[in-house]
């Protein structure tokens, strides 16, 4: 699973989250920093309003929460979602001795980004693409 630090870096780089069923997230509240929630029509539902999107906690899933603003949630994209973001720029994922390497085309340059966790290596590749766009 992607690290909180990598997810924060993606959000700060401008990655926009449009919640869908199966997405995982954390709340930007110290008492929930160890908890990971999953969007699901049955328990946690994304609701769009003219004032913004909220994540509604249905039923008794989390007794202390009715809903939270999307801005107060930190999306934890999966490896698959991160790879989808790389689109045609994705070249390869390699397992090296003690790390994973993602090879991605960023403009005319091929970059190789490494991290001990494959999801964070993908996140670094997405960050490289976001930096190029900015």
Tens digit of each residue's pLDDT (9 = 90 or more) over 37-95: 899 877 788 999 999 998 888 765 555 567 888 999 999 999 999 999 999 999 999 99
Q: Are 25 and 76 in contact (CB under 8 A)?
A: yes
pTM, to two decimals: 0.86
Query: DSSP alpha helices (H): ranges in the chain?
Result: 4-12, 79-86, 118-133
In degrees, rounded to 5, the angle at the alpha carbon of residue 79 between the alpha carbons of residues 71 and 134 is 55
**Spatial distance between the Cα atoms of 27 and 114, rounded to a whole number of angstroms:** 27
């Amino acid at each position: 699973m992607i690290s909180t630090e990598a997810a924060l870096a993606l959000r700060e780089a401008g990655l926009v989250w449009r919640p869908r069923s199966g997405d995982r997230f954390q709340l930007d509240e110290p008492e929930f920093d160890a908890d990971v929630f999953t969007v699901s029509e049955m328990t946690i539902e994304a609701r769009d309003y003219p004032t913004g999107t909220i994540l509604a906690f249905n039923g008794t899933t989390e007794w202390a929460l009715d809903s939270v603003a999307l801005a107060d949630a930190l999306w934890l994209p999966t490896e698959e979602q991160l790879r989808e973001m790389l689109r045609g720029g994705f070249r390869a994922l390699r397992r090296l001795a003690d790390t994973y390497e993602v090879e991605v085309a960023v403009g005319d340059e091929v970059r190789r980004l490494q991290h001990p966790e494959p999801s964070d290596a993908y996140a670094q590749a997405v960050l490289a693409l976001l930096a190029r766009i900015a």
